[in-house]
Amino acid sequence: MVKQEFKAESKRLLEMMINSIYTQREIFLRELISNASDAIDKIYYKALTDESIAFNAADYYVKITANKEGRTLTIADTGIGMTQEDLENNLGIIAKSGSLAFKKENESKDGHNIIGQFGVGFYAAFMVADRVTVTSRALGSAEAFKWESEGADGYTIVPAEKAAVGTEIVLHIKPNTEDDNYDEFLEEYRLRSIIKKYSDFIRYPIKMDVTGQRPKAEAAEGEAPEFESYVEEQTVNSMVPIWRKNKSELTDADYEQFYNEKRYGFDKPLKHIHISADGAVVYRAILYIPENTPFDYYTKEYEKGLELYSNGVLIMDKCGDLLPDYFSFVKGMVDSEDLSLNISREMLQHDRQLTLIAKNIKNKVKSTLLSLLKDERDKYEKFYKSFGRQLKFGVYGDYGMNKDVLQDLLLFHSSKENKLVSLDEYISRMPEDQKFIYYAAGSSIERIEKLPQTEMVADKGYEILYLTDDIDEFALKSIMSYKEKQFKSVSSGDLGIEPDADADKPEEEAAGSKELFEQMQTLLSGKVTKVKASKRLKSHPVCLTSEGELSIEMEKILSAMPN
């Protein structure tokens, strides 16, 4: 038996594969299951055109078997199998993908479910195994062959026995070392959870023998029943992902269950968005607007992102590029066939497709929030209570670049009926003579209501936005004007309100108090720049105003900030 050597480049590549390309060892199973699924797909595509091949769905599955004593993990499939030549070409030459070739040959047919394309996934097996045996019998062949390798120094192929068409891969799991635990890959529970995590939506059943406990049938009455363990073959994966189903087949409860299963949050989602896009970019997504603020939401620890699947296989837990920061509260997943992945899969190429998907998602989230605001006000206000602050940060951040996306989503407390209003609502009920959108800032609504500065504006019958959140005024400043109306603080020097004709004439009155004002100015020197008579006061003797760009409240915040 002559040992074939891997080509020199292949050797180096193999070392790299084993040591550094993948971020997590557990993905070896994802890769091998993907290959098995591809192999079944290939029979399926062949059956579409070749009448001599019957495709009976029940005959096609992947079976995972762990043997703790023998330290082996077996991945068997009933797929298309490999000839001696296939074993040679597809497993002997690293970075050669039989699946990519298959896809190209069968372009006319609907071969887009096939996952493989890089020709390296298989070697991930060597991250956990020190010896790998592949026994395979190709469709239409009576012979089987066994490929075996211990890693970088080569492989052998010999004739073998195999009763049915398909492939059986045996991994001889490495012994534990001081630093590394490999035993876990022989544990039923761990294997199940890896399969659930990455391969839950593989289209064929992934079966495992699962051990359970059950009470023995013949327990005598009154006695505690004795238990016996039994082994049962179970399908571990869910197969059809919820996002491939039609919206019309799904209920709110289905979406909620998915939210819980995926642990996107521990609350109930406020709203879900199910997207199935077939335009410039083809993808499916299920997104959620949560109801509650995650405990770490407004901290540096919080990590935004959506789960990213390529054709049903999980590629990334949190793809941050899919969400703008101001929508970082959105949870959910995206599945697309169009992504250009590189060989490690975890590392996405920053391509046009991803950018398109992200833009699409941004628009969908915005329009969903707008319709929530319009049609389900209570829900929107709940949402706003949890995440409104983030939207306001979004308006203020990035030099106000995103104000157009966000300004219609903002709500502020209003002097009218003590309610939250949107800027649009404010504008739509402005009296004709009102020139500005007025606001007053303060630490609470009660305090703002007592501000003498609000009196004149309120007396005119003008609505005032009460800004109680320290980011509020910064957000308004970033927006600058809304529907051609500028914002004006009630404490600014010029309120843009014509005084009533019968108002006092403060200038004249003030002439008699000149000395008093000078005296006050000296006493308050350094605290105020000027003391003067005012037309705006009604029931209060005095108020503070500011003349520059900044309101008194903003000045307070800025001067409290560390330099």
Region binding Mg ion by CB under 5 A among candidate stretches 43-51, 116-124, 202-210, 229-237: 116-124
Is residue 75 helix, strand or coil?
strand
* Residue 98 known to bind ligand: yes
Residue 119 interaction partner, one of ligand ADP, Mg ion, none, beta carbon < 5-8 Å per kind: ligand ADP
Task: Give the residue with the Cβ less far from ligand ADP, 97 or 344.
Answer: 97
* Residue 266 known to bind ligand: no
Q: How far is the CB of 39 from ligand ADP (least distance, A)?
A: 3
Other C-beta atoms lying within 10 Å of the C-beta of residue 505 = 11
Q: How far is the CB of 187 from ligand ADP (least distance, A)?
A: 23
Q: How many CA atoms lie within 13 A of 5 on its CB side?
A: 5
Q: How far is the CB of 122 from Mg ion (least distance, A)?
A: 6
Q: Is 262 exposed, middle or buried (0-12, 13-18, 19+ CB in 10 A)?
A: middle
- Helical ranges in 251-399 per DSSP H: 252-261, 352-375, 377-396
Residue 98 interaction partner, one of ligand ADP, Mg ion, none, beta carbon < 5-8 Å per kind: ligand ADP
* Residue 181 known to bind ligand: no
- Helical ranges in 460-546 per DSSP H: 472-479, 506-512, 514-523
* Residue 119 known to bind ligand: yes
Task: Give the residue with the Cβ less far from ligand ADP, 21 or 333.
Answer: 21
Taking CB atoms within 8 Å and a gap of at least 24, the contacts of 337-343 are: 337/112, 337/282, 337/283, 337/310, 337/311, 338/281, 338/282, 338/283, 339/308, 339/310, 339/315, 341/118, 341/310, 341/315, 342/118, 343/21, 343/95, 343/118, 343/120
Interacting positions 510-539 with Mg ion (CB under 5 A): none
Q: How far is the CB of 246 from Mg ion (least distance, A)?
A: 30
Distance CA 301, CA 289 (A): 20
Task: Give the residue with the Cβ less far from Mg ion, 35 or 434.
Answer: 35
Task: Give the residue with the Cβ less far from Mg ion, 116 or 312.
Answer: 116
* Residue 349 known to bind ligand: no
Other C-beta atoms lying within 10 Å of the C-beta of residue 427 = 16
* Residue 35 known to bind ligand: yes
DSSP annotation of 412 reads: E
E strand spans, 377-500: 411-414, 420-422, 436-441, 464-467, 481-482, 485-489
Distance CA 327, CA 304 (A): 9
Residue 462 interaction partner, one of ligand ADP, Mg ion, none, beta carbon < 5-8 Å per kind: none
* Residue 70 known to bind ligand: no
Give the list of residues 6+ apart from residue 351 with CB closer than 8 angstroms, or none.
339, 340
Distance CA 476, CA 195 (A): 49
- Give the residue, chosen from 35, 402, 415, 454, that forms a contact with Mg ion under the rule CB under 5 A: 35
Task: Output the six-digit token pair for 2.
Answer: 């002559």
List residues near ligand ADP by CB under 6 A: 31, 35-36, 39, 77, 79-80, 82, 90-91, 97-100, 116-122, 167
* Residue 96 known to bind ligand: yes
Is residue 284 helix, strand or coil?
strand
Residue 167 interaction partner, one of Mg ion, ligand ADP, none, beta carbon < 5-8 Å per kind: ligand ADP
* Residue 121 known to bind ligand: yes
Task: Give the residue with the Cβ less far from ligand ADP, 135 or 386.
Answer: 135
Q: How far is the CB of 355 from ligand ADP (least distance, A)?
A: 25
* Residue 414 known to bind ligand: no
Residue 82 interaction partner, one of Mg ion, ligand ADP, none, beta carbon < 5-8 Å per kind: ligand ADP
* Rg of the chain, C-alpha, whole Å: 34
Region binding Mg ion by CB under 5 A among candidate stretches 114-122, 224-232, 253-261, 441-449: 114-122
Region binding Mg ion by CB under 5 A among candidate stretches 109-117, 399-407, 438-446, 489-497: 109-117
Distance CA 437, CA 434 (A): 8
* Residue 31 known to bind ligand: yes
Region binding Mg ion by CB under 5 A among candidate stretches 113-121, 296-304, 339-347, 420-428: 113-121
Q: What is the 3-state secondary structure (H, E, C) of 207-236?
A: EEEEEEEEECCCCCCCCCCCEEEEEEEEEC
Task: Give the residue with the Cβ less far from ligand ADP, 13 or 497.
Answer: 13
DSSP annotation of 97 reads: -
Instruction: Report how far apart the first and last C-alpha atoms of the chain are (Å, whole number).
Output: 75
Give the list of residues 6+ apart from residue 231 with CB closer than 8 angstroms, or none.
209, 210, 211, 212
- Helical ranges in 51-95 per DSSP H: 84-86, 92
> Is residue 237 at the binding interface for Mg ion, with CB under 5 A as the rule?
no
Residue 310 interaction partner, one of Mg ion, ligand ADP, none, beta carbon < 5-8 Å per kind: none
Q: Is 142 exposed, middle or buried (0-12, 13-18, 19+ CB in 10 A)?
A: exposed
> Is the Cβ–Cβ distance between 42 and 56 less than 8 Å?
no
- Give the residue, chosen from 79, 121, 241, 388, that forms a contact with Mg ion under the rule CB under 5 A: 121
* Residue 260 known to bind ligand: no
Q: How far is the CB of 49 from ligand ADP (least distance, A)?
A: 19
Region binding Mg ion by CB under 5 A among candidate stretches 121-129, 264-272, 273-281, 373-381: 121-129
Task: Give the residue with the Cβ less far from ligand ADP, 48 or 93.
Answer: 93
Task: Give the residue with the Cβ less far from ligand ADP, 116 or 151.
Answer: 116
Task: Give the residue with the Cβ less far from ligand ADP, 116 or 312.
Answer: 116
Task: Give the residue with the Cβ less far from ligand ADP, 42 or 488.
Answer: 42
Burial 314-325 (b: 16+ CB within 10 A, else e): bbbeebebbbbe
Q: Is 554 exposed, middle or buried (0-12, 13-18, 19+ CB in 10 A)?
A: buried
Q: How far is the CB of 31 from ligand ADP (least distance, A)?
A: 6
Q: How far is the CB of 393 from ligand ADP (least distance, A)?
A: 42
Task: Give the residue with the Cβ less far from ligand ADP, 7 or 505.
Answer: 7
Interface residues toward Mg ion, by CB under 5 A = 35, 116, 121
Residue numbers in the known binding site for ATP are: 31, 35, 77, 82, 90, 96-98, 117-122, 167, 345
